[in-house]
Amino acid sequence: MLGLCRLMERNHGNNMLCLITVFCIYNTIINMDVNIIIRITPIGITSLIAVSIANMTRIGSVFEQLGMFVVTVTLGIVIQQLIILPLILFVFTRRNPYVFLISIARPWMMGLATTST
């Protein structure tokens, strides 16, 4: 929208300057609102977690389940990274996938560490 206003400003002179100023101010206000929300989000999430923990009767059982979840997700990612993806690469390229994985070790470890794969 702002780009269209800039284009029209070239054709119509300073008549569009007021509209461009309004959009710039609106953009600044939206950015300020988003920054406020981002800054207070951790407080809200911490409060929700605290309420959930306060309502638990058997905390040990919950942490045991959470630990099993972490182990399951980590194992799934390791299986995907070390077996499934190399197998797909081998099937389609007939290259040794582990030589390729060594050549991309840094991004591969970043993906494994952040579990974004």
CA distance from start to end of the chain: 35
Q: What is the pLDDT along the chain (117 residues), one digit of tens a residue?
A: 556 656 666 666 566 677 777 788 889 999 999 999 999 999 999 999 899 888 888 888 888 998 999 999 989 988 998 899 999 999 999 999 989 888 888 887 787 677 644
Largest CA distance in the chain: 70
- C-alpha 115/C-alpha 117 separation (Å) is 6
- C-alpha 91/C-alpha 41 separation (Å) is 46
What pLDDT, on a 0 to 100 scale, did the predictor assign at position 65? 92
Nearest to 97 by CA among 116, 115, 84: 84
What beta strand segments (E) does the chain contain? none
